[in-house]
Copies of this chain bind each other. A is one copy, B any other.
Amino acid sequence: MKTNFSKFDEQMMRRCFALARRGRFKVRPNPMVGAVLVKDGRVIGEGYHRYFGGPHAEVEAFQNATEDPAGATLYCNLEPCCHTNKKTPPCTPLVISKKVARVVVANIDPNPDVSGKGLQQMREAGIQVEAGLLAEEGAELNTVFFLNMKAQRPFVTLKIARSLDGFISKTKGKQTWLTSEKAVRFVHRLRATHQAVLVGAGTIEADDPQLTVRKARGPQPYRLILDGQLRVSLSASVFNDRFKEQTIVLTSTVAAPQKIEQLMQSGVQVLQFAGRNGRLALNEVLTALWQKQKIASLLVEGGQQIFTDFLNDRLFDELILIEAPVLLGNGLPAFERLTRQFLQLKEIKHLGPDVALIYHKKEK
- A contact set with B: CB distance below 8 Å: 164-166, 311, 319, 321, 323, 325-330, 333-335, 337-345, 348, 350, 353-355, 357, 359, 362
Contact = CB atoms under 8 A, between A and B. Distances in A.
A338 B327 contact: yes
Given A327-B335, A329-B337, A340-B328, A348 B350 contact: yes
Contact of A342 (B325, B335, B345, B355): B325
Given A165-B334, A327-B340, 6 more contacts: A166-B166, A323-B357, A325-B345, A326-B342, A329-B340, A348-B348
Which 5 pairs across A and B sit closest by C-beta, in order of nearness?
A166-B166, A329-B338, A325-B343, A329-B340, A326-B342
Contacts of A339: 327, 329
12 contacts: A164-B357, A165-B338, A166-B333, A323-B357, A325-B342, A325-B343, A326-B340, A327-B335, A327-B343, A329-B337, A329-B340, A344-B353
Contacts of A354: 345
Q: Which of A326, A350, A362 has the most CB of B within 10 A?
A: A326
Nearest to A334: B165
B341 A327 contact: yes
Nearest to A360: B325
Nearest to A359: B325
Contacts of A355: 345, 348, 357
A354 B355 CA distance: 14
A334 B338 CA distance: 17
Contacts of A338: 165, 327-330
A323 B323 CA distance: 11
Contacts of A344: 325, 353
A119 to B, nearest CB: 37
A128 B339 CA distance: 69
Contacts of A334: 165
Contacts of A319: 164
A166 B168 CA distance: 13
A49 to B, nearest CB: 35
Contacts of A311: 327
Contacts of A357: 164, 323, 355
Nearest to A357: B355
Nearest to A351: B345
Contact of A321 (B164, B326, B328, B348): B164
A345 B337 contact: no
A338 B325 CA distance: 14
A342 B178 CA distance: 11
A326 to B, nearest CB: 5
A159 to B, nearest CB: 14
A41 to B, nearest CB: 42
Contacts of A166: 165-166, 333
A344 B319 CA distance: 24
A334 B333 CA distance: 13
A105 to B, nearest CB: 33
A341 B345 CA distance: 28
Nearest to A337: B329
Nearest to A335: B165
